[in-house]
Structure 1
Amino acid sequence: MAIVHVRIDDRLIHGQVATMWTNNLGVTRIMVVDDAAAGDDVLKMSLKLACPNNVALSVLPVEKAAERINANAYDGQRVFLILKSPKTLVRLIQANVKIETVNVGNLTYTEGKIKIANTVAVTKEEIECFNDLHKLGVKLTLQLIPSNPSEDLMDVLKKA
């Protein structure tokens, strides 16, 4: 399976993902990896409605996603992997999924989070996860849409 892009975005599938990213990357499948979403039929239906008609969708819990990725279940497809949080990504990597580069697109500000960019606010736990991912050799970028310049997330975190 060719994972062509990995994105952390707490909104999962929305307009920017469904149009700009999917078209820019030539995606044939969006794989949402999130335990809660995988167990919520209403949310899965909403994600299906948000997914472009010509793009397949998988909404899987972490363990099942890792199993399918490691078994090459989507060989020949161009897969866009979307996760809600860096913690989920750490779990996926711990399940032997090889991830080299991750784009952080949107982590909504809520009370107790530190705003590090216009569309990204993080908790102390998320900062620890990003540090762990960086130590594992994962390149972390900050980029809202494909036409925006990509920034090094670790540089942005150092300034926060």
Structure 2
Amino acid sequence: MIKLCRLDDRMIHGQIVTKWSRVVPVDRIIVANDQAGSNPIIAKSLLMAAPGNIKVAVKTVKDAVELLHNPKASAHDILLIVANPQDLLTVVEQVEGIHRVNIGNWGLLEASDGKQREMVSQFVALSEDEKAILAKVNEKVEDFVLQVTPDVSAIKVSSILRK
């Protein structure tokens, strides 16, 4: 069962290890990212950053979707991490049972496509295209918030999409 799906361009890092994996008890972390899933160096660095008591899989988006369709996945408590809005939309559209999604960090680095991004919170900046993608995610997910760490108040994504 997917306990939480998180959009975070840093994927596995200190907030995941010290906060989210404790507040949302999980026994598996699945990173769904084409670059990380196809690059052994990136995958290994993510595995090294993960908590030692949690099994981690770093997969391409397609392979992560396939893994999550495996009936054995329902026996585990999973934190699913994606690194960009398009990957988030893909997994939400293709995987049943994603009810809770949060955005931690996204868009603070310069957009590789040259598009302008607007700061919508201290840790999230979005282009108009990214807002459109997240609006589609918002239609499919019950609980969709911006929340960098569990100890700060969550902001409903719908409220930032209306601005």
Count of aligned pairs:
158
Asked if the contact 1:63/1:95 (under 8 Å) is kept, the reply is no
Q: 1:70 to 1:11 in 2, by over 3 A?
A: same
Counterpart-to-counterpart distance in 2, 1:132 and 1:29 = 27
Q: Give, in angstroms, the shift of residue 158 of structure 1.
A: 2.2
Counterpart-to-counterpart distance in 1, 2:109 and 2:58 = 25
Provide the residue aligned with 2:132 in structure 1: 128
Q: Give, in angstroms, the shift of residue 73 of structure 1.
A: 2.9
The 5-angstrom pairing of residues 49-128 of structure 1 reads 49-111=48-110, 112-128=116-132
Q: Give, in angstroms, the shift of residue 96 of structure 1.
A: 4.1
The 5-angstrom pairing of residues 36-47 of structure 1 reads 36-47=35-46
Counterpart-to-counterpart distance in 2, 1:26 and 1:98 = 17
The 5-angstrom pairing of residues 16-31 of structure 1 reads 16-31=15-30
Counterpart-to-counterpart distance in 2, 1:148 and 1:5 = 16
Aligned residue identity for 2:148: L
Counterpart-to-counterpart distance in 1, 2:144 and 2:150 = 15
Asked if the contact 1:13/1:51 (under 8 Å) is kept, the reply is yes
Q: 2:153 aligns with which of 139, 142, 149?
A: 149
Counterpart-to-counterpart distance in 1, 2:93 and 2:22 = 30
Q: Does 1:14 align with 2:13?
A: yes
Provide the residue aligned with 2:113 in structure 1: none
Q: Deviations over 1:37-70 (max 9, x none)?
A: 1001110011011001111001111221112212
SS of equivalent to 1:5? strand
Provide the residue aligned with 2:162 in structure 1: 158
Counterpart-to-counterpart distance in 2, 1:137 and 1:52 = 27
C-alpha RMSD of the superposition:
1.5
Q: Give, in angstroms, the shift of residue 13 of structure 1.
A: 0.5
- Normalization by structure 2: what TM-score? 0.89
Q: Give, in angstroms, the shift of residue 104 of structure 1.
A: 0.6
SS of equivalent to 2:67? helix
Aligned residue identity for 1:121: A
Asked if the contact 2:32/2:61 (under 8 Å) is kept, the reply is yes
Identity of aligned residues (%): 28
Q: Give, in angstroms, the shift of residue 75 of structure 1.
A: 3.4
Aligned residue identity for 2:29: I
